[in-house]
Amino acid sequence: MNYNNQLKMLKQKDGNAEKWIKFVPGLTESGHLDKIIKNQITPKEADSMGPPEVTLEMSRAAMGWPSKDIAKNEINITNEIFAGHIPVRIYRKQKSDGSLPVIIFLHGGGFFGGSLDNVDHPCRLLADKGDIEVISIDYRLAPESKYPEGLLDCYRAVKWVYEHAESLRIDKEKIAIAGDSAGGNLSITTTLLDRTLGTNFIKAEVLLYATVLRGINGQGELWDATKLEMKEDVEIITNYVKGFGDLDTQVDKWYLNLGVDASNPFISPVHSKDLAFLPPTMIAVGEFDPLRLQNELLVDKLRAAKVPTQYIQYNGMIHAFMDQIGDLPQAEDLMEETVNFVLEVFN
């Protein structure tokens, strides 16, 4: 049975961040970890030896999560390289005809990791859920290519899609951009760059648990786990949030050149003074995602700027739950909500 049909959605006002809440299966209140997630983040006996030293190679190898291909339709997949160095993977239902809307998808991975393969199953499912083409972009990664190289690759990808709309069989007036985590950051910053340059290619954006405020090193009120309103498993969730925040400084060292101002809106889009020019936006985040509070700050700023903004909270979830397609019904539902939002904007 579809997750959407099993569970009710509750429209709730938390501070100023009005949102739709999707409950953990079997529950009708917030504050509880999903059992599958709890098992994943509960420390194991081996963890008592302390965390190993974080290296770039180890962090890259840890990206992604085992997932399944649960698409119900035959999906045609092609691979291309444009601009001489940017691989893209294109997904389209075999039975889809004509010129389709498109989602340009930017994978997560802290700006230093992730790949087309890591988001292959989510992208297949996006293409499966509606008459829509999905184009996944393998932008350059830090620290080999620091800011703004990855961002510029993403903008070039959008421009390439627009200019090759006919051969790609997409409607160039129906371009959406979407991404998870660092890919969510690159989605909104690419859209800001699109508006700054006056090209206006992007007509909708979907930000999945995006990192939108860099340079605060996992510190301050936006990293305060008590604001996540836990009803149980307080120590487990608090330690999870702290561990995530401890990596924030290292991520910035890999992504940003020394002396770069992290408050630059193309790095931390919550600081942008040009949010009013953004297209309709969907933001989704897990209830216990360490980035939830900064996402809610962005929701408030977008709505203050009169940007049509849909905000969905998946209760019991943590960061990167999208990766677990086939195991978490919430992951499938997130892909369905993404497609529904984009097609609603374009209809």
Which position has the token pair 């006996």?
45
- Mean pLDDT of the residues in the chain: 93
Alpha carbon distance 284, 266 (integer Å) = 20
Judge whether residue 7 has pLDDT over 50. Answer: no
Give the mean model confidence (pLDDT) for residues 290-305: 98
Say which residue, 45 or 333, is predicted with more confidence.
333
Give the mean model confidence (pLDDT) for residues 294-309: 98
Catalytic, 145? Answer no
Alpha carbon distance 204, 191 (integer Å) = 9
Of 30, 67, 136, 181, the catalytic one is 181
pLDDT band at residue 18 using 50, 70 and 90 as cut-offs = confident
Alpha carbon distance 126, 339 (integer Å) = 6
**CATH of segment(s) 3-45+55-346:** 3.40.50.1820
pLDDT at 329: 96
Catalytic, 115? Answer no
Of 128, 180, 194, 289, the catalytic one is 289
pLDDT band at residue 64 using 50, 70 and 90 as cut-offs = confident
Give the largest CA-CA distance in the chain: 57
Beta-strand runs (E) in the chain: 9-14, 17-22, 75-82, 86-93, 100-106, 133-137, 170-180, 202-208, 281-286, 309-314
Alpha carbon distance 238, 220 (integer Å) = 14
pLDDT at 66: 87
Give the mean model confidence (pLDDT) for residues 158-187: 98
Among 4, 83, 21, residue whose Cα is nearest residue 317: 21
Alpha carbon distance 74, 331 (integer Å) = 20
Instruction: Give the model confidence (pLDDT) of 192-206 as tens digits.
Output: 999 999 999 999 999
User: How distant is the alpha carbon of residue 340 from its chain centre?
Assistant: 16
Judge whether residue 224 has pLDDT over 80. Answer: yes
Instruction: Give the model confidence (pLDDT) of 46-62 as tens digits.
Output: 555 555 677 999 999 98
Catalytic, 289? Answer yes
Instruction: Give the model confidence (pLDDT) of 72-121 as tens digits.
Output: 999 999 999 998 999 999 999 999 999 999 999 999 999 999 999 999 99
pLDDT at 152: 98
Judge whether residue 11 has pLDDT over 70. Answer: no
Task: Answer whether 139's CB lies under 8 Å from 61's CB.
Answer: no
Give the mean model confidence (pLDDT) for residues 274-282: 98
pLDDT at 194: 98
Give the mean model confidence (pLDDT) for residues 304-319: 97
Burial 15-32 (b: 16+ CB within 10 A, else e): eebbbebbbbbeeeebbb
pLDDT band at residue 173 using 50, 70 and 90 as cut-offs = very high
Judge whether residue 290 has pLDDT over 90. Answer: yes
**pLDDT over 70 percentage in the chain:** 93
Q: Compute the radius of gyration of the chain from its Cα atoms.
A: 19
Structure tokens at 74: 């035959």
Rounded to a whole number, what is the distance in angstroms from the first to the last CA of the chain? 27
Of 107, 248, 319, 323, the catalytic one is 319
pLDDT at 54: 77
Among 35, 34, 41, 1, residue whose Cα is nearest residue 241: 41
Instruction: Give the model confidence (pLDDT) of 23-41 as tens digits.
Output: 999 999 999 999 999 999 9
- Give, in degrees to the nearest 5, the angle at Cα 294 between 293 and 296: 65
How much helix, strand and coil, in percent to the nearest 5, is found in the chain? 40, 20, 40
pLDDT at 5: 40
Judge whether residue 6 has pLDDT over 50. Answer: no
